[in-house]
Amino acid sequence: MQIKLIPLQAHGDDRGSLIALEEGKNIPFPVKRVYYLFNTKEGVRRGFHAHKTLKQVAIAVRGSCRFVLDDGNERVEVLLDNPAQGLLIESFMWREMYDFSEDCVLMVLADQLYDESDYIRDYAQFIEAANSHVHSSAQ
Ligand code: TYD
């Protein structure tokens, strides 16, 4: 599985750093929603879902955390520890997040508003849906 890490250019000078996120430029979709996870407790593992259509980009704007991404075929671990890097998470991708540093702020940009009906929260159901998604996209 190809993990898509988007390099985000930092504009730095002696005052500090600045990164701009722009739809159609470094963010490959229209941004409808932004949310962020913080104060995540030690040992917590969260996520445990996939989306039917949602696309997202996750950025550890502070601190670090790990992701498991699973396309139904392969599981890959990714460390996010750089505010100048965005992890693209396409639809039909099971994700789990863990090993949050105490200071971690994980920001997520999404191309749709929150919609519970877009979630697949059951792993067995995800595997079934991912397989039929692969077959229908290959046609
Ligand atoms: P949840 O899906 O459990 O988060 P994660 O997948 O990261 O473990 O979401 C936590 C709560 O926040 C849940 O009650 C749904 C709510 N929520 C929103 O209201 N809007 C959002 O955009 C998101 C992502 C979650």
Q: What CA–CA distance (Å, rounded) separates 37 from 57?
A: 13
3-state secondary structure at position 87: strand
Residue 90 has pLDDT above 80, yes or no: yes
Q: What CA–CA distance (Å, rounded) separates 78 from 92?
A: 17
Instruction: Give the closest residue (by CA) to ligand 1 atom 1.
Output: 47
Q: What CA–CA distance (Å, rounded) separates 102 from 119?
A: 28
Report the pLDDT value the prediction gives residue 75, as an integer from 0 to 100: 97
Tokens 């890097």 belong to 85
pLDDT grade, residue 91 (50/70/90)?
A: very high
The lowest-confidence range among 13-22, 97-106, 130-139 is 130-139
Q: What CA–CA distance (Å, rounded) separates 79 from 66?
A: 4
- ipTM of the complex model: 0.94
For residues 62-77, give the mean pLDDT.
Answer: 98
Are 130 and 91 within 8 A, CB to CB? Answer: no
Decide: 38 in ligand 1 pocket, CB within 6 A. Answer: no
Report the pLDDT value the prediction gives residue 80, as an integer from 0 to 100: 98
Residue 138 has pLDDT above 90, yes or no: no
Mean pLDDT of the chain: 96
Sort strands 16-19 and 75-80 into parallel, antiparallel or unpaired: unpaired
Residue type, 71: D
Q: What CA–CA distance (Å, rounded) separates 8 from 20?
A: 8
Instruction: Give the closest residue (by CA) to ligand 1 atom 7.
Output: 47
Of residues 80 and 137, the one with the higher pLDDT is 80
Decide: 49 in ligand 1 pocket, CB within 6 A. Answer: yes
The lowest-confidence range among 20-29, 91-100, 125-134 is 125-134
pLDDT grade, residue 114 (50/70/90)?
A: very high
- Length in residues, the chain: 139
Report the pLDDT value the prediction gives residue 136, as an integer from 0 to 100: 77
Q: Hey, which residues does 100 pair with through a beta bridge?
A: none
Residue 36 has pLDDT above 90, yes or no: yes
